[in-house]
Amino acid sequence: MLTWKDIINFSVNGNPKPDRRVEKPEAEWKAQLTPEQFRITREKGTERPHSGALCTAYEAGQYNCVCCDTPLFDSTIKFNSGTGWPSFTQPIKENAIKYEKDSSFGMVRVEVMCNTCDAHLGHVFPDGPEPSGLRYCINSESMTLKKEKVND
């Protein structure tokens, strides 16, 4: 289980190696993504709080990167943080997420990105629930929910 100390270590000393890399020219990303997805994932934007379609989604499934379809988070570790963005306590795998220090807007935070394609996802904070104490605050537009199939 990742802790805040691990996150700071990754942001300072380097991130875990991803399973694969996906790199595309900006024009390809623009053609693939909606304008809002492009603004958030490729230009490090954010959506308004409580505006994302995945804020109130709690169906069983997996949250994947909207850009490269890499699995990022599982629905079992999603929680309602009250912040207005989907929140998770851990990534699906240690090497799914890339961490970088973010000093924009006059504050210091840790930006989280897809480790496969460098898509901006959101930020991680040390104010989440136990046992990890982490809150991954993620833009809905940066993910797709692959719902689990229910057998009848």
Is 117 annotated in a binding site? The answer is yes
CA distance 64 to 72: 5
- Is position 55 annotated as part of the catalytic site? no
CB 112 within 8 A of CB 123: yes
* 3-state secondary structure string across the chain: CCCHHHHHHHHHHCCCCCCCCCCCCHHHHHHHCCHHHHHHHCCCCCCCCCCCCCCCCCCCEEEEECCCCCEEEEHHHEECCCCCCCEECCCCCHHHEEEEEECHHHCCEEEEEECCCCCEEEEEECCCCCCCCCEEEECHHHEEEEECCCCC
- What are the two backbone dihedrals, phi and then psi, of residue 148, each rounded to the nearest 5 degrees? -70, 140
Is 67 annotated in a binding site? The answer is no
Which member of 137, 138, 143, 145 is catalytic? 137
Catalytic residues: 137
Going by the annotation, the residues of the binding site for Zn(2+) are 65, 68, 114, 117
